[in-house]
Amino acid sequence: MSALLAAAQGHRFGPVVLRPVRPLRVGVEGLSQRMNRFISPAIVLSVFLLDRLSKARALDHLFGRPVQVLPFFQLTYAENTGVAFGMFHGNNIFFIVVSVGLITALLFFRKRIQGYGLVAGTGLSLVLAGALGNLYDRIAYGFVVDFFDFSFFPAVFNVADSSITAGAFLMAFGIRDTGKEGAAGRA
């Protein structure tokens, strides 16, 4: 080894300077930055496409023909012009406006929400995907296509609804879990 160092010092580029090796930093911050750029749009697109595909299948195969999957679960076609649990049905135009407003607000606050970390950022992506999926239905059909029907749950729902629910939980958990430390870092 000393022979190599001696030979290198006489090299035409000058003496060899040994520097300490810095550790490779691949932490949550790096992952959050990559998520902002690549993973978040991929989640939105993937969930939106899964929602569209599942609703297209429901429209083609479930209308008037529920399919029993498990004793407590069946696929049942339903048209929902309201919101969760069919509340406020018949207000499709109102909910289109509300959906556009919600999506706009989420996009406006996107950087701030993603600043809370990976969990909150993932939640945001899921909420956006679900909101876009249901907005598409409201504009294209005048109602939202629902089809997941659990005997122990009072409403029929879809992939977009599940995405919104899971995403809202993750956003709330990510923001709450970050606490004052995260808020101080963003101030």
* pLDDT average per 10 residues of sequence, the chain (187 residues): 54 59 52 68 96 95 91 92 66 89 93 87 95 96 93 90 96 79 49
pLDDT of residue 25: 46
pLDDT of residue 16: 57
Whether residue 135 is contained in a domain is answered as: yes
Those residues with Cβ within 8 angstroms of residue 160's Cβ, 6 or more apart along the chain or in another chain: 47, 51, 129, 130, 131, 132, 133, 134, 137, 144
Whether 161 is catalytic: yes
Whether 149 is catalytic: no
Annotated active-site residue in 51, 137, 149, 161: 161
pLDDT of residue 19: 66
Whether residue 6 is contained in a domain is answered as: no
Whether residue 14 is contained in a domain is answered as: no
Cβ neighbour number for residue 132 with a 10 Å cutoff:
19
Whether residue 12 is contained in a domain is answered as: no
Whether residue 25 is contained in a domain is answered as: no
Annotated active-site residue in 51, 137, 146, 149: 146
- The burial of 105, by beta-carbon neighbours within 10 Å (0-12 exposed, 13-18 middle, 19 or more buried), is given as exposed
CA distances from 130 to 96, 99, 118, 164 (A): 13, 10, 18, 5
Range of the domain at 109: 31-181
Whether residue 149 is contained in a domain is answered as: yes
Number of domains in the chain: 1
Whether residue 9 is contained in a domain is answered as: no
Whether residue 105 is contained in a domain is answered as: yes
Classified as helix, coil or strand, 112 is helix
H-helix or E-strand spanning residue 45: helix 40-61
Whether the CA torsion 40, 44, 50, 54 is positive or negative: it is: positive
